[in-house]
Amino acid sequence: MQRHASPARRGQIQFGETIMVVVVIVFILIVGIVFYFNASKASVEKQIRTADQAQSMTVVNNILSLPEIGCDPSVTTGRCVDLLKLKHLAGQINCGSSDPTSRYYCSLFGAGLVTVTIVDAPPASGPTSFLFYNSSLPNSTATDSQFRFTTVYDPVGGEQLFAYFNVSRYQQGVTFG
């Protein structure tokens, strides 16, 4: 003879099933929220990197388009930068000073680090680098470097050299996770 569960026992089983269904639904929701947060985080970080790369290229383009460091058109053809003028300008920029000229260049270039590396240096010395610009923010970190190649005219040697600008931007406290 088969014994049937009492109505109270049947109610307890149905109540337990309902609780298990709610627990499974909550678990699925939590997994979905975590997945969505991670996907959003990756998307925001990618957008920040893309914007930073664009800003770095803007800085280099601003430097290369400065008429005060351009080559004399009678000496060279094409777009290039005069090495002596570039080094002189690098020595004039001090973002910590109240000099209007320095403030202008610091606002034009923003927070970043720019070095110039001359690749076509004499073989004995190898590539030479010098610091063109450095303006950091408090509690900031440097981002990935961006490179831009150009020609640099050396008026002392009378030759055009191959060089590149290395730009790193500084960002303040944007961190995730």
Q: Which pLDDT tens digit goes with each residue over 127-156?
A: 688 888 888 777 777 777 788 888 888 888
110 domain-assigned? yes
Question: Contact at 8 Å (CB) between 63 and 109?
Answer: yes
Span 42-92, pLDDT tens digits: 998 888 888 878 888 888 888 888 888 888 877 766 678 888 898 898 888
Helix 100-109 and helix 83-92, axial crossing angle in degrees, nearest 10: 110
Q: How many domains does the chain have?
A: 1
In the chain the first and final C-alpha atoms are separated, in Å, by: 62
8 domain-assigned? no
Question: Contact at 8 Å (CB) between 150 and 64?
Answer: yes
6 domain-assigned? no
CA distance 172 to 71: 36
25 domain-assigned? no
The one-letter amino acid at 147: F
107 domain-assigned? yes
3 domain-assigned? no
CA distance 46 to 43: 5
Residue 152 is part of which domain span?
43-172
- Is the predicted pLDDT of residue 177 greater than 50, yes or no? no
35 domain-assigned? no
Average pLDDT of the chain, as a whole number: 82
- Is the predicted pLDDT of residue 24 greater than 80, yes or no? yes
pLDDT at 171: 73
64 domain-assigned? yes
Chain-centre distance for alpha carbon 63: 17
CA distance 100 to 106: 10
